Chains A and B, each alone.
Chain A
Amino acid sequence: GAVVSQHPSRVICKSGTSVKIECRSLDFQATTMFWYRQFPKQSLMLMATSNEGSKATYEQGVEKDKFLINHASLTLSTLTVTSAHPEDSSFYICSAGGRGNQPQHFGDGTRLSIL
């Protein structure tokens, strides 16, 4: 069964709306989670590393004020796309785990469509 749960799976909303995506680790404690963005037929682009109890580490070029990350507990990280616009439409995926040879577990992704 899934070890990382991501919700919602699909969001369609109007421009200017803020959208929150949740990523939960179901059967393990995740001090670190990762958020990715993916365009069609392209690779996953790491947006940020979410650290429990501290600020997220953003990759170069990712707007911190646009993509707010909160990791308030060992099992939950959230990504909020603030004042979303059509160019923010994409597929967002979270992952957790991945220390040493243990592979990261991925959520099923969220397809975000901004009208």
Chain B
Amino acid sequence: AQTVTQSQPEMSVQEAETVTLSCTYDTSESDYYLFWYKQPPSRQMILVIRQEAYKQQNATENRFSVNFQKAAKSFSLKISDSQLGDAAMYFCASIAGGTSYGKLTFGQGTILTVHP
């Protein structure tokens, strides 16, 4: 079984500043993947970034990067140079690896507000 915990229900950041969203997880799987999804007011689910657990290098996608601490089971998302369009609800999620289609386990979500 997998659990994902986001302890920050809401966060805010000034435009152009940096913000970090926290996520911890627990899993009994040795092979798993971690994701951050963004859900703007339109409620589309948009993949922001993904991390393979077997990779030590932290994933980066433009202004978005993660701090993956496998031993601590921590997977935080850093947004640099925040933009108004980054305002959304962010979900951390995990899935077991392997060849079958597994279920995503989502955290509770963090609402990010970006102030101009």
A residues with CB within 8 A of B: 31-32, 34, 38, 41-44, 46, 49, 91, 93, 95, 97-101, 103-104, 106, 108-109, 111
Contacts and interface: CB of A to CB of B under 8 A. Distances in A.
B44 to A, nearest CB: 6
Contacts of A43: 91, 106-109
Contacts of B101: 31-32, 97-99
Interface in B15-54: 33, 35, 42-45, 47, 50, 52
A99 B16 CA distance: 36
Contacts of B114: none
A83 B98 CA distance: 39
Q: Is the interface of B mostly helix, strand, loop or mixed?
A: loop
26 contacts: A31-B101, A32-B101, A42-B108, A43-B106, A43-B108, A44-B91, A46-B103, A46-B104, A49-B103, A93-B45, A95-B45, A98-B95, A98-B102, A98-B104, A99-B99, A99-B101, A99-B102, A100-B33, A100-B99, A101-B33, A101-B97, A103-B50, A104-B104, A108-B44, A109-B43, A111-B43
A99 B104 contact: no
Contacts of A91: 43
A61 to B, nearest CB: 15
B52 A106 contact: no
- The secondary-structure label for the interface of chain A is strand
B89 interface: yes
A98 B43 CA distance: 20
Contacts of A31: 101
B45 A99 contact: no
Nearest to A2: B44
Contacts of B111: 41
A47 to B, nearest CB: 11
A31 to B, nearest CB: 7
B56 interface: no
Interface in B60-116: 89, 91, 95, 97-104, 106-109, 111
